[in-house]
Amino acid sequence: MPSAFPVEIYLVLGAGIILFFFISKTLEHFNRAFLFGIGALSLPFIANSMGHSLPTDAPALMAYMTGGVSIYLAFSSIYRGLKIANLILKPFKKLFKDVPSKAIRKVK
C-alpha cells in the first residue's frame, strides 16, 4: 500500500517556506516602521538643539512617534497600491504601446 508520506513532507516544507517569507516581510515592515518612529521621535530634540521650542514631554513624544509610523504606513500603502496598479495595467501598456506613434504618422 503506497504511503502519502513524501507528499506530506513536501506540503509541510512548502507551507514552511511560505510562512518564513511572510514572517520575514512582516518583520521588514515592523523594522522600517520602528525606524521611522525613532526618526520622528528624534525630531523635537534636534529642533530644540537648533533653538526652536518643541515640547518633549511623554504625550508629545508619543504623538511624534505615532506620526512617523503613520507616515511610513501611508507611504507603504501608496507604494504597494502603485505596484498593484502597474501590475494590473501592464498588459494594457503592452497593447497600446505603439498607438500614439501610429496616430502621429497618419497626421503628418
Provide the grid cell at 84. 498593484
Q: Count how many domains the chain has.
A: 1
How does pLDDT run across 14-41, given as a tens digit for each residue?
999 999 999 999 999 999 999 999 999 9
Structural domain range at position 67: 5-107
For residue 73, give every residue at least 6 positions away whose Cβ sits within 8 Å of its Cβ, in sequence order, or none.
33
**CA pair distance 48, 42, nearest whole angstrom:** 10
Q: Which letter does DSSP use for residue 10 in this model?
A: H
Higher-pLDDT residue of 1, 4: 4
How does pLDDT run across 57-100, given as a tens digit for each residue?
999 999 999 999 999 999 999 999 999 999 998 888 777 776 55
